[in-house]
Structure 1
Amino acid sequence: MIIQEPVQAAIWHCLNHYDFADAVFLSERLYAEVKSDDSLFLLATAYYRNGQIDHAYQILKDKHGCSPQCRYLFGSCAFDMQKYAEAEAVIMENISSKNNFEEVINIYGDQAAFTLLLIAKIAAKTERRQRAVDALKRALKINPFLWSSFEMLCKLAEKPDPNSIFQLNELDNLTKCHGNNLQYITTPQQILTKSSVNDMNNRMVFTPEDSMLVNANSLCMSGFGLLSAPKVKRLRCRTVDSSAGASPNFGMLFEREEHSTPTTPHPTLTEANEQKSFTKKVRAHVGNLINRNEAILKNIKPVFSQSSNVTNTISITPSTPAPMPTGPNVRRSSRLFTSSYSAVKENNKSPNRNKFATPKSPSRKTKTRLAKCSLNELNTYMDLNTLNRLKKEKSETVTSTDNKNNSAINLNMVNPIQIQKQSAEGLMHLLRDIGRAYLHLSQFNCKSAINEFNNLPSHQFHTTWVYGMLGVAYFEMADYENCVKYFSDIHSKEPCRLNYMDIYSTALWHLQKEVALSSLAQDLVQINKNSPITWVVSGNCFSLHKEHDTAIKFLHRAVQVDPSFPYAYTLLGHEYIMTEELDKAMSCYRNAVRLDPRHYNAWFGIGTIYSKQERFHLAEINYNTALSINNYSSVIMCHIGMVQHAQKKTEKALYSLNMAIKNDPKNALCKFHRGSIYFAIGKYAEALKELEELKEIVPKESLVYYLIGKVYKKLGNTDLALMHFSWATDLDPKGASSQIKEAFDPSIGRSTEMESPASPSAEDGQSESNSVQQQEPLGFASLHEDSDDSL
């Protein structure tokens, strides 16, 4: 028969150490010998991890129905290849109803949460939002450690409650979340089968290498009659003709009969020397294990803790081992905390009360007994008697160091499962805090999100992921200075991190920081030319230099690299608007909302196109769609007010602008348009007050002074009117000259008095007609362009 477990262990060893080429080679050899579900899954896994997704897909295509593992992997391959229908059909195979997630959980076991996450991804890609939401919620109920599921729920416009999701209500959740990873033997197939070795592993801290060493020594001693080779489950039988004299092939190397190996003397060593040598090695190895056991227990503490103000230093005295469950699914905690420990009273006079005592060497009597016992008896002796002897011979002290009081901690109260759960609960507490912040950010409640992130512990706050979230929050608030501060820290700490560098480049575009944006673009080109973010940053760089045609080429490259990148389509649409190619811009925006219906920037872009075409009703509809997604955006509210005013809905326009200014009191664009509406409806005093406040915010905008001059002219104050017209000319000689001429020419003035300087057709400062709005100076026009492109 063929024993495939050692080969599988070797393959997993290669995979775990990123030697994918050897893993593929060995997996192919194994699958050629053993056509089983396990070897098929192992070969497909090796292909998948080696980047050969098409290979994994092909070998699983006709054979995936045998095991849930193979079906899940095939579904993952099909999803990566954008074959969504095929992926879902395979995953839901043999399941009565597509919405019966309980059957999915029963069939896929430990993989159920990940399978449900894959189902949700497929449903989201195929525009079945409710199915995706149901699958994500079920996955989080099984495994609350799946942050990506919570993140995806937020992106689907759900409002999941972090306080109810990130909970460990049952202790079984730990096993469901961790699978079999709490075992020390982490290979897919357990190699150790001797009950005595398993029993020893259950009571002492053994690494896989330790257990394999003891098992190997056990097999070596089988020739002396001390231990029979374990019976191995027959995987495949084949006949070997040894009389033919041929060299054994791959299968023959693992041939073994299904009975105990006969006891024959060792060909090179005498029985006494071999037993003495082996006993010495085992005794030394056990001593090392005991020392390492103590060192591990000395430093044991939860990884995540909800309170970190008190630091406990614990020394432990081993006592009689508590009975622990045996079998392949013994948890790591069972192996780490295998004995019940008791605390002894602190001895303040002892100089070594905070140290561990060194274990003494075995006595002569013990050595004699150890040398004479069989290996089976030796295992039991190491398991029970050694620890009992250590309990009698070693005197340890258990102390607790508290910053305020040095009180002893009774370790009898420390349950290893409770410590394990405490660590998991600490992580859940952290996820709840981060989840609340992320939920606020996904709803564009950026101020609340920033407050939640600021309350995180210092070591969690000063991480690039949190900095990225803060950068996005400040960007959505149009606070580009703080946005750039956080993103620049990310780029300096982790230059290879490309996430959100596209947002960073847009913030630099708004601040007109040409040098910083050019440097960022060059860095990303050197780091990764295959990322769409690299080409988006380059496109923003050329856009800032007014080279819009070149920017369009780079943004086209971005969508070629990743056709599912909504923000690249949106920026490309902005550039087409700058070049007056409105049809192409509309196509880009529609692609963006097709990929992400909550991408409010693209809805805003569609509204901008309709506004330019003076189809104000359609513009208002699309602006309102964008506002329904991000109801905190003062820029969207401002543009809604503009198109409402263009439709003679003056009261609604003023209400929209008032709400925009309430959200952002320093929004210069909103205040300018509100002042323009006041001027248009004859409320000159309100218009003058608004524009005087605006002059403090943007003191170098010529259009503000020009409009103030028009207000003073209406009020009959010619001197102040001339003074403000003069200031407008100084700030922008070319742009203001025609406007001033119009203001003092009665024939022109009468035709334009009822026109608002805030007409939506003038929001980009383009000269498409002779109206006052379309002759805005460059400064304020650039502010309007910023408002458009910020979305």
Structure 2
Amino acid sequence: MALSTGHVASQLRHIIYYHLDNNLIRNALFLAERLHAYEPRSFEAQYLLSLCHLHNGEIKAALEFSQASGSRGMHAGCAYVYAQACLDVGKYLDGATALERCKALWASKNHWNKHSETQRQHLPDAAAVYCLLGKLWQAQKDLNKAVDCYVDSLKLNPFMWDAFLGLCSTGVNIRVPNIFQLSPELLAIINSAPGAEDNPSDLLSPTGGNFPTQTTGNATSDPFMVPNSRTESDTTYGSSALWEKLNGSSVTVASVPAHVIHEGMETPGNQSSGSGSEEFRIANGVTDPDSAWEPPLAPARKNRPVQTMSSDHPGHPPPKMRPTGIRPRPRPRTEPEDPPLGPGDREPPPAPRFGDRKRTVSGQVAHPVSQQPVEPGAPQRRSVRLFNQIKPTTSKLSSATLAGRDGREVKKIRGQTTTKGRTGTVGRVVSGNRKPMESSDYDGKEPRATYVPANSGPPPLPKTAERTKELEALNWLLGLFTKLASGYFSLSRYKCPEAVSHFNTLSQGQRETPWVLAQLGRAYFEQAMYTEAAKYFSRVQALAPTRLQDMEIYSTVLWHLKSDVELAYLSHQLLEADRLSPQAWCAIGNTFSHQRDHDQALKCFKRATMLDPEFAYAFTLQGHEYVSNEEYDKALDAYRHGINADNRHYNAWYGLGTVYDKMGKLEYAEQHFRNAATINPTNAVLICCIGLVLEKMNDPKKALVHYERACSLAPHSILARFRKARVLMKLQEYKFALTDLKILKDMAPDEANVHYLLGKLYKMLHDKANAIKHFTTALNLDPKAAQFIKDAMEALDDDDMEDEDMA
């Protein structure tokens, strides 16, 4: 017997997917090489080999094996792996081009709610590809295309969290509730879910999708052949405004053409005998919620009157049996013609018309079946299908047990009695020989087979209740994602109080997770509330000791708090978790920086940038160390690298402004400070920096405006209120300045500069006693500034002498 090529390849693919699902990547890679050697021209073999290399961390190997078919867009899976590898190696335009070329293969696919414990979709759908395209275009610095791709991804699947994070990083305005809502697309997929569960392999059948198949024997050997490329019209989504894209008109699942190219494969399993796929039913508007949750029926037979050996109709001899073999595919019941007869078949007698008297197997007159109007195009109810068949069967197993070896139907089942058209099982059921008992409803419906095995748990919920539960769960998840997204979006726009309020609306279990706690820590860090931020980050460290994300922010918080021991412990813990992570080397660099060892700190920050050239925060910390060493040219270069890695990293813009301020280039300093304030408009420090530059440019009135805004943004900011009082003194607004300085004295009673400025103000107000009092307090708090304070006190005495001479 000749070896079946298709079956060998199919078995290899099954084994590869088995190892991939069990995270046995090396085994899967070894088997993928065997499959590629067996079918070197198969796109599916190339896809699996490149996918295994990608999962194994071999990026360049994945790029190599997927380039042949992926770069030309001939296979969606190869193009997807090729684009992922291009994103890692920096070939952004090549990856985006490959995905665009095969758009006809993935644009109409939506695999949301089609992944379960027993079902997989191994090729990407449109939402996943759009998300990857957005990342590629964003890395290519084409933000307009990136935003469009992220929006398309979220419209198809609102749970694509990566797309939402990318959308926030672009800086566009977002209406979060318009994203996380129950769209018509999701409802259509939910309504079609029972059909997909009844027949999970419809996507592999020729009726489920038009892809070429190669038949060997009785099975479909290779569903992974190259499909014919089809062009697809681009869909517009109304206005260019982002919220209109997210909330505007969209292509529903019902509007997708019925002929969809499927080149993917679900998890290998037994193919069911369903006649139509879920997508085909939705595309044609055929929905049957009543029969969607029923078990699949056996293949339909022709409508024939019930004939028995008692010869109720003597004029019609029993029909001859069909030859044994594969049953022909049943035709839909909506067609009027009967299927062609076999060579040994006779013409069947005409089906009984409405009103004819029907008889049961025992010869008793049965009640006529009431005909109910059926909507045109709608499928028949299960009861109608059962009465149109010779015998109610619900599975292939039951039809096989009720038929003889040669296909002849059994006349009468032993152990059953017939009384007025109702059947029931008589006798005891012995263990090991249990059979389903047929029961009939009292409302005139057809009998249903009910079988409850031992220890089977509660019976399943009705289909309406189950669908209601599913919709309730989906609404709850969308509400959860709305809260999380609202908090993250507010934090990405540096609206920290709003972000904290959004995150606090979460339940206790969701709030006490490492990701949410880290976002809360970042929110307090951006408000310069370092003590509160440290509390949240310490809880993150306790819950997830090996977590690396956001730990560089925690190290900076500890640097501000001057917590040497905690900072050293954090550095050691991060280094133990992953010594090749940039976060660990940033924490070590902050440790050396706090010890004023700037050279060692610079080495650590450079190490972090070598490990991840896109880690903008490490470049910023590197620039801060160069400023401490007064190496301004190198600092400018480091800050520019940080901006190149992340254009919205406001700390790098702030660093550039600081360097230009120290170099005396006040116009450049003001420009860069304003750029930083545009990104983070709620940061009081940035507003104060703009005011300081304007003050140096001899424009105290504009500087006062910025200081007042900074005080309104951060009422507890000592720096903003101190500079505001100083400008008020320059403008000779002594009363307002005195009010602010008194507030400052209560906020920072141990600050020498506050008492020194109060002494100068009282000197201007000719209040010598209070002036001497605050000068003395400043001298005690800061002995290093004794010379300046003594000079001010001597000037106070000189002013008194001049006043006496003038008198």
TM-score, normalising length from structure 2? Answer: 0.65
Question: Residue 449 of structure 2 aligns to a residue in which SS?
Answer: helix
C-alpha root-mean-square deviation of aligned residues, in Å?
4.0
One-letter identity of the residue aligned with 2:54: Y
Q: Which amino acid aligns with 2:270?
A: L
Superposition deviation, residue 689 in structure 1: 2.7
Higher relative helix content = 1
- 2:131·2:163 contact (CA, 8 Å) conserved in 1? yes
Q: Contact 1:743/1:749 (CA < 8 Å) preserved in 2?
A: no
Kindly indicate whether residue 44 of structure 2 is the aligned counterpart of residue 38 of structure 1.
Answer: yes
Answer 1 or 2: higher relative contact order, Cα 8 Å, separation at least 6. Answer: 1
What residue in structure 2 maps to residue 621 of structure 1?
671
| Letter of the structure 2 residue corresponding to residue 188 of structure 1 | E
Other-structure match for 1:737: 786
How many angstroms apart in 2 are the aligned matches of 1:362 and 1:686? Answer: 102
1:204 Cα deviation from its structure 2 partner? 6.7
Q: How far apart are 1:654 and its partner, in Å?
A: 0.8
Letter in 2 for 1:90: A
- Counterparts of 1:458-477 in structure 2, within 5 Å, are 458-477=508-527
Q: Partners of 2:46 and 2:91 in 1: how far apart?
A: 21
Q: Which residue of 2 aligns with 1:10?
A: 15
- Inter-partner Cα distance in structure 1 for 2:744 and 2:192: 59
Matches within 5 A, 1:390-789: 390=451, 414-734=464-784, 736-744=785-793
Q: Structure 1 pair 658/44, CA: closer, same or farther in 2 (3 Å)?
A: same
**1:391 and 1:539 mapped to 2: Cα distance?**
66
Q: Report the Cα distance in structure 2 between the residues aligned to 1:728 and 1:487, rounded to whole angstroms.
A: 36
Question: 2 CA distance for matches of 1:89 and 1:396?
Answer: 53
**Residue pairs, 1:127-138, within 5 angstroms:** 127-138=141-152
Q: Write the deviation string for residues 185-213 of structure 1: whole angstroms up to 9, x where unpaired.
A: 797364424649999x98679xxxxxxxx
Cross-structure match for 1:188: 266
**Residue aligned with 2:174, SS:** coil
Whether the aligned pair in 1 keeps the contact of 2:763 and 2:796 (CA below 8 Å) is no
Contact 2:682-2:713 within 8 A present in 1 as well:
yes
1:105 and 2:107 aligned: yes
After TM superposition, give the deviation of residue 114 of structure 1 in Å. Answer: 1.3
* Separation in 2, partners of 1:643, 1:115: 47
Residues 727 and 12 (structure 1), Cα distance of their counterparts in 2 relative to 1, 3 Å cut: same
1:92 to 70, 77, 100: 100
Rounded to whole Å, the distance in 1 between the matches of 2:739 and 2:81 is: 67
Question: One-letter code of the match for 1:576?
Answer: Y
Match of 2:76 in 1: 68
Contact 1:474-1:483 at 8 Å conserved across structures: yes
Q: Distance in 2 between the 1:711 and 1:116 partners?
A: 63
Q: Which amino acid aligns with 1:635?
A: V
Per the alignment, residue 763 of structure 1 pairs with none
1:2-24 per-position Cα deviation (integer Å, ceiling 9, x unaligned): 21222211111111111111111
1:552 and 1:572 in contact (8 A); partners too: yes
Quote the residue 2:449 is aligned against. Answer: 388
Q: What SS does structure 2 have at the residue aligned with 1:47?
A: helix
1:142 corresponds to 2:156: yes
CA contact (8 A) 1:6 1:191 kept: no
Partner of 1:48: 54
Question: 1:564 and 1:681, CA in 2 relative to 1: closer, same or farther beyond 3 A?
Answer: same
3-state SS, counterpart of residue 101 of structure 2: coil
- Does 2:131 match 1:117? yes
- How far 1:630 moved relative to its partner? 1.1
Q: Map 1:109-258; keep pairs closer than 5 Å.
A: 111-170=125-184, 172=186, 175=189, 188=266, 190-193=268-271, 195=273
Contact 1:159 1:439 in 2 (8 A): no
Structure 1 unaligned segments of length 5 or more: list them.
96-101, 206-225, 232-319, 325-359, 372-384, 400-410, 751-791
Question: For the residues of structure 2 that align with 1:475 and 1:182, how far apart are their CA atoms?
Answer: 48
Could you say what secondary structure the match of 1:55 adopts? helix
**How far 1:520 sits from its partner (Å)?**
0.7
Take 2:787 and 2:383, find their aligned partners in 1: how far apart are those partners?
Answer: 95
Structure 2: runs of 5 or more not aligned: 112-123, 202-264, 278-291, 297-322, 329-381, 387-424, 437-445, 800-807
Deviation per CA, 1:467-503: give whole Å up to 9, x if none.
1111111111111111111110000110011111111
Q: Secondary structure at the match of 2:574?
A: helix
Call closer, same or farther: CA 1:140–1:505 in 2, change over 3 Å: same
State how far apart, in whole Å, the 1-side matches of 2:760 and 2:737 are. 10
Deviations 1:136-190 (A, max 9, x none): 1111111111011112111111122221111232255674999999689797364
User: Which protein shows a greater Rg?
Assistant: 2
Paired position in structure 1 for 2:412: none
Counterpart residue identity of residue 192, structure 1:
N
Task: Tell me the residue number matched to 1:27.
Answer: 32
The one-letter amino acid of 1:123's match is W
Distance change in 2, residues 1:21/1:362 (3 Å):
farther
The CA deviation string for residues 43-69 of structure 1, in whole angstroms up to 9 with x for no partner, is 211111111221111112223343111
Q: Equivalents in 2 of 1:710, 1:691: separation in Å?
A: 11
* Paired residues, number: 578
Which of 76, 91, 106 is the aligned partner of 1:83?
A: 91
Deviations, residues 56-95 of structure 1 (Å, cap 9, x unaligned): 1111222334311111111111111111122122112266
Contact 1:145 1:177 in 2 (8 A): no
Query: More displaced, 533-542 or 698-707?
Result: 698-707
Which residue number corresponds to residue 309 of structure 2? Answer: none
Match of 1:765 in 2: none
| Aligned amino acid, residue 709 of structure 2 | M
Q: Which residue of 2 aligns with 1:403?
A: none
Q: Which amino acid aligns with 2:726?
A: S
1-structure distance, mates of 2:130, 2:670: 39
**Contact 1:638–1:656 (Cα < 8 Å) also in 2:** yes
Contact kept, 8 Å, 1:8 with 1:188, in 2: the verdict is no
For residue 744 of structure 1, report the CA deviation from its aligned partner: 4.5
Partner Cα separation in structure 2 for residue 176 and residue 415 of structure 1? 13
Q: Cα–Cα, structure 1 residues 744 and 144, in superposed 2: closer, same or farther, change >3 Å?
A: same
| SS at 1:414 equivalent | helix
Return the match for 1:57 from 25, 44, 63: 63
Relative to structure 1, is the Cα distance of residues 748 and 473 closer, same or farther in structure 2, using a 3 angstrom cutoff? farther
Equivalent residue of 2:125, what SS? helix
**CA-CA distance at 1:715 after TM superposition:** 2.8
Deviations 1:208-264 (A, max 9, x none): xxxxxxxxxxxxxxxxxx998999xxxxxxxxxxxxxxxxxxxxxxxxxxxxxxxxx
SS at match of 1:168: coil
CA distance in 1, matches of 2:752, 2:324: 96
Letter in structure 2 aligned against 1:39: A
Deviation at 1:419, TM superposition (A): 3.1
The offset of 1:370, in angstroms, is: 7.7
Write the distance in 1 (CA, Å) between the matches of 2:614 and 2:547: 20
Q: CA deviation at 1:749?
A: 10
Instruction: Judge conservation of contact 1:75–1:87 (CA < 8 Å) in 2.
Output: yes
Deviation at 1:711, TM superposition (A): 2.1
CA contact (8 A) 1:742 1:749 kept: no
TM-superposed deviation, 1:631: 1.1
